[in-house]
Amino acid sequence: MKTHEKLNHLFPSESDIPETYRLHGLVEQKEYLIDGELLTWEGEMSEVLSPICINDGGHISQKCIGHTPLLTSQEALHALDAAVKAYDLGMGEWPTLSVGSRIHHVEKFLSAMRAKRQEVVNLLMWEIGKPLKDAEKEFDRTCVYIEDTINQLKELDRNSARFDTEEGIVAQIRRVPLGVALCMGPFNYPLNETFTTLIPALIMGNTVVFKPAKYGVLLIKPLLEAFRDSFPKGVINIIYGRGRDTVGAMMETGKLDVFAFIGTNKGANDLKKLHPKPHRLRSILGLDAKNPAIVLPDADLEVAIQECITGSLSFNGQRCTALKILFVHDSIADVFIEKYLQALQKLQMGMPWEAGVSLTPLPEPGKTEYLNGLVQDAQQHGAKVMNEGGGLFNQTYFHPAVLYPVNAAMRVYREEQFGPVVPIVPFSKVQEAIDYVRDSNYGQQLSIFSQDAEAVAHLIDSFANQVGRINLNAQCQRGPDTYPFNGRKDSAEGTLSVGDALRAFSIRIMVASKMNGTNKALIGDILQHRYSKFLTTDYLF
């Protein structure tokens, strides 16, 4: 069957959807969380369209699955005020709670979250088209990340140095939260990526305003009560709405201390510049990437193909860590492409809940047209679509397009496609690939495929000052989550491993006292009477 004929079978009617995955009615998300209260929004709502298209008696359209509130700047500022109040040492308890107590709150949340697994996984499929296995993995991985964060924090706490005495000065050094954090995540990992900033921020004692991703927003609904019931008032506030109205208004107040954002450079820059004193804002950012694979002539092709197929096309290439351009030595380009296309044929396109399906509809509006534009541009500059049916699209479906030979004149050479378009660049000298990486604005990761120790070592040394991670005979990826996740140049700011994130959302400060009679009496008095929340004997590391 030709690919375009197969595409006709991608639009199920309601009755074709298995009962377990069917949505019964719309998910009406009217509630938002401010200062420990779930408030109900009666104003304008935003429609949530699933990328999954339904065939309703011959009429095929994206299914509307629910609505979310379009809050205004007023609600956003209310949320910010609640977070500011909860952070204030004089009024809020959260920043000065013991590590053990904060862990207890997060554990309570985790246990409530686990009970919502099926609901959240189902929404991950409906909202962003994530295949069932990947959606389950995202949920489970997030739970493990929270557990690991708790364990890491206990470890840090155990190893803490309580007092330092140097040169006649006693220092009570303490790691403290940064303040009020705004956490925003991307549509492709709306749970995992968001929680890898949200949880470390909370557990370190920051208070948070959380705005869920634009797509992948309804799946926070099942967790709203868990958030409300697990944390003290104002510690976590959850809002919805247009970025400019809500986030923009909060930024302009200058009251945000941390901006934790996983998304595009443009999104991050547009928001950050609204802060009146951006240098005061600690930014923890995961941004654009264009990770290349470099396949040398002696590469083990079986390994290279397997890793490049999953690296470039798992979740339709919609991962910041996806391989977004493949540099293949020209002596093996033909055989590489032949094998790549054979492997591609085995990937199935379909509904996210169908067994074996890995290619699914795309949630971003206008994405298929954008990808088609990239393909046409490459064709105009001399590339061919190497696979039958490649690039064929329909509303939210885009069949992967493998482009060859790609060169610097084409948009896809530098633009981050974030979708199922695979550009393959032939090279004769490895220096061409080295120059590509060095000239790139991005520096998240790259992959090298070769068995030649000398050649690999040379490349490692060429790239160690360019990217955050070099993968040998393996695709690019974030995990394991205990490993550093970051990037160079315009790809990231800060590092987000389990342990690094705890440090990213905190700062070490101290009270330093000269060892003289006055101070001995003074500190003794403060400690004895517990006058200070900060200066206590049971402080954090």
Ligand X SMILES: O=C[C@H](O)COP(=O)(O)O
Q: Are 253 and 77 a contacting pair, CB within 8 Å?
A: yes
- DSSP conformation class of 340: H
Identify each DSSP E strand in 460-536 by its residue range.
469-472, 488-489, 492-493, 506-514
In the complex, the smallest distance separating the C-beta of residue 118 from ligand X, rounded to whole angstroms, is 22
Closest Cα to residue 234, out of 91, 74, 70, 31? 91
In the complex, the smallest distance separating the C-beta of residue 320 from ligand X, rounded to whole angstroms, is 3
State how far the Cα of 99 lies from the Cα of 86, in Å rounded to an integer: 17
In the complex, the smallest distance separating the C-beta of residue 350 from ligand X, rounded to whole angstroms, is 20
| Furthest CA-CA distance within the chain | 89
Would you say 99 or 326 has its CB closer to ligand X? 326
In the complex, the smallest distance separating the C-beta of residue 484 from ligand X, rounded to whole angstroms, is 13
Would you say 319 or 367 has its CB closer to ligand X? 319
In the complex, the smallest distance separating the C-beta of residue 236 from ligand X, rounded to whole angstroms, is 22
Would you say 18 or 479 has its CB closer to ligand X? 479
Give residue for tokens 């991005």.
Answer: 442
Closest Cα to residue 296, out of 462, 470, 452? 452
State how far the Cα of 114 lies from the Cα of 111, in Å rounded to an integer: 5
Would you say 142 or 440 has its CB closer to ligand X? 142
Would you say 234 or 292 has its CB closer to ligand X? 292
Would you say 321 or 497 has its CB closer to ligand X? 321
In the complex, the smallest distance separating the C-beta of residue 477 from ligand X, rounded to whole angstroms, is 4
Name residue 27's beta-bridge partners.
Answer: 66
In the complex, the smallest distance separating the C-beta of residue 481 from ligand X, rounded to whole angstroms, is 8
Q: How many other C-beta atoms can be found within 10 angstroms of the C-beta atom of residue 291?
A: 30
State how far the Cα of 68 lies from the Cα of 240, in Å rounded to an integer: 7
Would you say 246 or 486 has its CB closer to ligand X? 486
State how far the Cα of 274 lies from the Cα of 243, in Å rounded to an integer: 12
Would you say 50 or 447 has its CB closer to ligand X? 447
Q: Which sign, positive or negative, has the C-alpha torsion 134, 66, 251, 229?
A: negative
In the complex, the smallest distance separating the C-beta of residue 478 from ligand X, rounded to whole angstroms, is 3
In the complex, the smallest distance separating the C-beta of residue 82 from ligand X, rounded to whole angstroms, is 30
Name residue 4's beta-bridge partners.
Answer: none
Would you say 142 or 477 has its CB closer to ligand X? 477
In the complex, the smallest distance separating the C-beta of residue 138 from ligand X, rounded to whole angstroms, is 9
Give residue for tokens 């962003």.
Answer: 128
State how far the Cα of 221 lies from the Cα of 120, in Å rounded to an integer: 9
Q: Look up residue 208 and give its amino acid.
A: V
What does R_g of the chain's alpha carbons equal in angstroms? 25
Would you say 324 or 478 has its CB closer to ligand X? 478
State how far the Cα of 127 lies from the Cα of 533, in Å rounded to an integer: 44
Q: Which residues bind ligand X (CB under 6 A)?
A: 188-189, 193, 319-321, 477-479
Would you say 29 or 188 has its CB closer to ligand X? 188
Q: Look up residue 493 and give its amino acid.
A: E
Closest Cα to residue 62, out of 389, 364, 314, 318? 364
Structure tokens belonging to residue 167: 């040169």
In the complex, the smallest distance separating the C-beta of residue 468 from ligand X, rounded to whole angstroms, is 12
Alpha carbon dihedral 531, 536, 537, 539, in 10-degree steps, equals 160
